Amino acid sequence: MRRLLVGLIVAVLTVTGLLALRAELMTVEVEQPEGSYTEVLVAADVVRENADVRAEMTHGLVSTCRLLVNADVVEQSFRAVGDGVFAFRLRPGLDEFDRRELRGCLSDLRVQHLRVHVRHLQTVTPADDDRRRDGTPAAGRR
């Protein structure tokens, strides 16, 4: 009888622990407000390639990684903002999990001879965008 009771307690604790762990590790999609977008700034270096193809290689990597997070590059937003530094926007805005996924994907060496470092990755909601235009700092921006 004592073994049965101990076994039952262990089983209940194990199931409770597994459910708690599952809840912590489970991916939860957080809906972003309509009109939100994610700003991304990356620095790209090419290894053993001509620097002239850096923009094309970076754009190819961005096109691949955006599929991972189910977002689209805003038309005409991919642009060079410095030597080897590129900016672009994704729509819809990405939640925290998707931002981590995108950062990891862009940092991987998926395109041979290309190294990308993410300098800035931030989701902007319409409320944040309004505050930016007013000159008021947007609290809690990511």
CATH number at residue 65: 3.30.70.3400
Number of independent structural domains in the chain: 1
Domain span at residue 63? 37-134
Q: What residue has token string 């981590």?
A: 100
pLDDT surpasses 70 at 25: no
Q: How confident is the prediction for the chain on average, in pLDDT?
A: 82
51 occurs within a structural domain = yes
Cα 137 to Cα 13, 40, 127, 132, distances in angstroms = 47, 19, 11, 7
Percentage of the chain surpassing pLDDT 90? 37
80 occurs within a structural domain = yes
Percentage of the chain surpassing pLDDT 70? 80
16 occurs within a structural domain = no
127 occurs within a structural domain = yes
At 142 the pLDDT is 41
Q: What angle do CA 62, 38, 140 make, to 5 degrees?
A: 145
